[in-house]
């Protein structure tokens, strides 16, 4: 037997496929079938051999966890059986949020996390990582991919796997599962401690304690409550409820039964409406502190935001780029609040290529530098690490295109950190010392730097009103996703360059004159490398291709962007336009779409 085609996307962000035995991506069956059992076993074996070589240990310790998808237990069981026969030490958490397992795995050699993030329920996947708090980078992942594909064609090895799976010692297997109860408790304690360090940006336990005591006082006077649509995700069994209540924050969860996935998983506006509806109901029922809400994806590393708009008296869903912009504003202001007049402080933000240019405007107000990498959490994390080697303080990083916020020293997105960025922004206000000196709060710092008038009794709606205004394509909008026939993206982008240059030189059917566009620059991102003003579009390969469009300024007024997804069989496009101009964004994106379809037909 060989596995001729594992039919699996093998990106650094996760190895994913439909694991449901029916191959129906919306099937809620727990059965993965024989071939997927072998694939699961093979993934574990490949990582075990990689980890042995990497650590020099014959019996490395591997942490394993799953999200709440129905196929998770069977995948985990195949992996655990294989690793037991290979003599690995296994720490099985069971259901765990991604930030939880990654915080816990810092104590050991590596981790395997079984999840397909925001993909439909019949999908599942595997994330591999070491003990640095994040997933393997692209270079290391490529080593595993090569070994995995080679082993898929090894008939003798697959026969060995069959024996490994079927002959695992029952007592060892029972021990792993029985120990998981205490390991889960330990993982939660570690994760909570780590979250305090991340939120406060303070290294010492005493300093952190003082920070949270002061924050609790401010929260109590501000009356903040949090609504959460868990949607049956892994966060149902994480720290959320206890951690919020511990910090004087009322918590209003629903759909909080593990595995109770009642609607689509991706936390985009079309699915955040359930959280907005619940917030509206609570407000109508007299719960006036239900002012912030979130919905995580299935692995709980991403959660976009709903807020109560005091001006309109409605629950509103924030777009992904707005969530990230507010998080960046909050954490850059908090970094400045912490650092004071420290001359050694050099602030920076690391983002992915399609993150809106509004981040550049926000960062410029704080005199912070923006570093851009290719789409993919691992790429952004490694872009930030390279910036830190240049002595920059990169407190905040992430992918604005999907609202995913990563707060250092975490190396993974986490809705807890996003919510607390908002809470800090709303509650850390002006204070006076005994001598009468005023230390300005976070929003006051931002208002001074961005030339906005500060008012003391502000709400989140007031903060949003001060953000730079941009019109940006939503990542989950149907028009942002194309089906492309050309499998070689270098060829596709080379063809796109031909049709783009021809269209641009002829005025793009009046679009250029209509919006005063006079020139352009090509920007490519591959991994952690960004190259500006590149002459050959095809050099981006599978990476990101951005065309910056210029009017009468040295700074671009808009951009169009494209990249094939690394975790889904789609080609993603988007447009970002300075100002409130939906017509311009729509026309530029339609122009890009038309040119791409023409390029795909060459």
Domain containing 539 — which CATH number? 3.30.310.50
Q: Is 195 contained in some domain?
A: no
What are the tens digits of pLDDT across the range 338-351? 998 888 999 999 99
Rounded mean pLDDT, 50-65: 96
290 and 437 housed in the same domain: no
Rounded mean pLDDT, 540-558: 95
What are the tens digits of pLDDT across the range 103-149? 999 999 999 999 998 889 999 999 999 999 888 888 899 999 999 99
159 and 252 housed in the same domain: no
What is the structure's pLDDT at 599? 96
Does residue 592 sit in helix, strand or coil?
Answer: helix
- Report residue 248 CA to chain centroid gap: 27
End-to-end CA gap in the chain: 40
What is the structure's pLDDT at 207? 96
176 and 229 housed in the same domain: no
* Domain end marker among 430, 464, 498: 464
In this model, does residue 368 exceed pLDDT 90? yes
Q: Is 302 contained in some domain?
A: yes
What is the structure's pLDDT at 99? 96
What is the structure's pLDDT at 469? 97
Question: DSSP assignment, residue 113?
Answer: E
What are the tens digits of pLDDT across the range 34-52? 889 999 999 999 999 999 9
479 and 580 housed in the same domain: yes
Rounded CA-CA distance 268/558 in Å is 23
175 and 257 housed in the same domain: no
Confidence of residue 166 (pLDDT cuts 50, 70, 90): confident
Rounded CA-CA distance 186/251 in Å is 23
What are the tens digits of pLDDT across the range 182-220? 999 999 999 999 999 999 999 999 999 999 999 999 998
What is the structure's pLDDT at 400? 87
In this model, does residue 563 exceed pLDDT 70? yes
133 and 28 housed in the same domain: yes
Cβ-contact 413, 402 below 8 angstroms: no
114 and 134 housed in the same domain: yes
| Residue percentage of the chain with pLDDT more than 70 | 99
20 and 168 housed in the same domain: yes
In this model, does residue 569 exceed pLDDT 80? no
* Helix or strand run (H / E) with residue 217: helix 205-222
Structural domain for 226, as ranges: 203-318
How many Cα atoms sit within 13 Å of 437 on the Cβ side? 3
Q: Is 196 contained in some domain?
A: no
What is the structure's pLDDT at 330? 98
Rounded CA-CA distance 415/421 in Å is 10
In this model, does residue 568 exceed pLDDT 70? no
* Domain end marker among 158, 187, 216: 187
Q: What is the CA radius of gyration of the chain?
A: 24
| Positive or negative torsion for Cα 260, 18, 275, 226 | positive
| Residue percentage of the chain with pLDDT more than 90 | 81
Cβ-contact 347, 367 below 8 angstroms: yes
Rounded CA-CA distance 251/516 in Å is 50
55 and 26 housed in the same domain: yes
Which of 109, 101, 105 is CA-nearest to residue 72? 101
Total domain count, the chain: 4
CATH number at residue 382: 3.40.120.10
In this model, does residue 566 exceed pLDDT 70? no
Q: Is 197 contained in some domain?
A: no
Residue with tokens 């996390």, as numbered in its chain: 113
Q: Is 4 contained in some domain?
A: no
Does residue 164 sit in helix, strand or coil?
Answer: helix
Rounded CA-CA distance 602/588 in Å is 22
Q: Is 3 contained in some domain?
A: no
Does residue 371 sit in helix, strand or coil?
Answer: strand
Question: DSSP assignment, residue 476?
Answer: T
How many Cα atoms sit within 13 Å of 380 on the Cβ side? 31
Rounded CA-CA distance 310/465 in Å is 13
Rounded mean pLDDT, 309-318: 96
In this model, does residue 313 exceed pLDDT 90? yes
Does residue 427 sit in helix, strand or coil?
Answer: helix
Which residues are paired to 560 by β-bridges? Answer: 547, 575
Q: Is 193 contained in some domain?
A: no
Which residues are paired to 10 by β-bridges? Answer: 15
Question: DSSP assignment, residue 201?
Answer: T
What is the structure's pLDDT at 376? 85
Cβ-contact 29, 20 below 8 angstroms: yes
78 and 210 housed in the same domain: no
In this model, does residue 567 exceed pLDDT 70? no
What is the structure's pLDDT at 516? 97
Confidence of residue 20 (pLDDT cuts 50, 70, 90): very high
Q: Is 165 contained in some domain?
A: yes
In this model, does residue 8 exceed pLDDT 70? yes
Which of 519, 525, 559 is CA-nearest to residue 539? 525
Which residues lie closer than 8 Å to 194 by C-beta, 6 or more apart? 103, 106, 410
Q: Parallel, antiparallel, or unpaired: how do β-strands 290-296 and 250-254 relate?
A: unpaired
Lowest mean pLDDT among 17-21, 94-98, 170-174: 170-174
In this model, does residue 293 exceed pLDDT 70? yes
441 and 502 housed in the same domain: no
In this model, does residue 1 exceed pLDDT 80? no
What is the structure's pLDDT at 156? 82
Mean pLDDT of the chain: 93
Rounded mean pLDDT, 415-424: 96
Does residue 255 sit in helix, strand or coil?
Answer: coil
586 and 476 housed in the same domain: yes
What are the tens digits of pLDDT across the range 433-486? 888 889 999 999 999 999 999 998 999 999 999 999 999 998 888 999 999 999
* Domain end marker among 464, 491, 513: 464
In this model, does residue 67 exceed pLDDT 70? yes
Rounded CA-CA distance 107/97 in Å is 17
């Amino acid at each position: 037997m060989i596995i001729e085609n594992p039919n699996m996307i093998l990106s650094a962000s996760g190895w994913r496929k439909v694991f449901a035995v029916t191959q129906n991506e919306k099937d809620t069956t727990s059965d993965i079938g024989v071939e997927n059992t072998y694939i699961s076993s093979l993934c574990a074996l490949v990582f075990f051999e990689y980890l042995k070589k990497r650590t020099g240990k014959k019996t490395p310790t591997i942490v394993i966890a799953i999200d709440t998808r129905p196929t998770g237990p069977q995948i985990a069981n195949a992996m655990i059986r294989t690793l037991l026969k290979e003599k690995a030490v296994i720490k099985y958490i069971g259901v765990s949020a991604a930030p939880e397992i990654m915080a816990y795995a810092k104590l050991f050699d590596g981790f395997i996390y079984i999840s397909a993030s925001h993909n439909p329920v019949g999908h599942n996947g595997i994330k591999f990582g070491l003990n640095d708090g994040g997933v393997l980078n692209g270079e290391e992942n490529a080593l595993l991919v090569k070994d995995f594909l080679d082993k898929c064609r090894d008939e003798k090895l697959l026969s060995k796997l069959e024996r490994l799976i079927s002959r695992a010692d029952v007592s060892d297997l029972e021990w792993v599962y029985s120990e998981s109860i205490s390991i889960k408790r330990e993982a939660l304690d570690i994760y909570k401690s780590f979250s305090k360090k991340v939120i406060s940006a303070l290294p010492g336990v005493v300093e952190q304690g003082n920070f949270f005591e002061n924050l609790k006082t401010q929260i109590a006077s501000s009356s903040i409550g949090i609504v959460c649509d868990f949607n049956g995700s892994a966060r149902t069994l994480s720290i959320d409820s206890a951690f919020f209540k511990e910090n004087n924050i009322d918590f209003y969860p629903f759909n909080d039964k593990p595995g109770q996935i009642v609607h689509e998983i991706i936390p985009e506006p079309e699915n955040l409406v359930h959280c907005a509806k619940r917030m509206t109901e609570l407000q109508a029922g007299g719960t006036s502190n239900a002012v912030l809400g979130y919905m995580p994806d299935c692995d709980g590393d991403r959660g976009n935001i709903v807020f109560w708009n005091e001006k309109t008296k409605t629950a509103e869903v924030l777009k992904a780029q707005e969530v990230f912009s507010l998080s960046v504003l909050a954490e850059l202001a908090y970094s400045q609040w912490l650092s004071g007049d420290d001359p050694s402080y050099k602030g920076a933000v690391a983002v992915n290529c399609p993150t809106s240019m509004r981040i550049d405007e926000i960062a410029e107000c704080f005199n912070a530098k923006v570093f851009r990498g290719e789409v993919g959490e691992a790429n952004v994390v490694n872009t930030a690490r390279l910036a830190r080697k240049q002595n920059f303080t990169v407190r905040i990083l992430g992918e604005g295109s999907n609202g995913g916020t990563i707060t250092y020293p975490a190396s993974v997105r986490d809705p807890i950190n996003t919510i607390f960025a908002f809470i800090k922004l709303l509650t850390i206000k002006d204070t006076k010392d005994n001598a009468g000196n005023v230390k300005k709060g976070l929003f006051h710092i931002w208002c001074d730097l961005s030339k906005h008038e500060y008012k003391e009794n502000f709400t989140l709606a007031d903060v949003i009103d001060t953000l730079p205004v941009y019109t940006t394509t939503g990542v989950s909008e149907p028009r942002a996703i194309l089906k492309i026939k050309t499998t070689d993206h270098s060829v596709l982008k080379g063809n796109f360059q031909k049709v783009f240059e021809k269209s641009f030189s002829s005025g793009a059917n009046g679009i250029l004159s209509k919006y005063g566009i006079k020139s352009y620059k090509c920007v490519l991102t591959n991994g952690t490398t960004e190259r500006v003003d590149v002459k050959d579009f095809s050099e981006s390969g599978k990476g990101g291709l951005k065309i910056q469009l210029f009017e009468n300024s040295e700074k671009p007024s808009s951009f169009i962007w494209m990249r094939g997804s690394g975790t889904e069989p789609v080609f993603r496009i988007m447009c970002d336009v300075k100002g409130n101009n939906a017509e311009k964004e729509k026309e530029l994106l339609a122009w890009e779409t038309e040119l791409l379809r023409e390029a795909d037909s060459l």
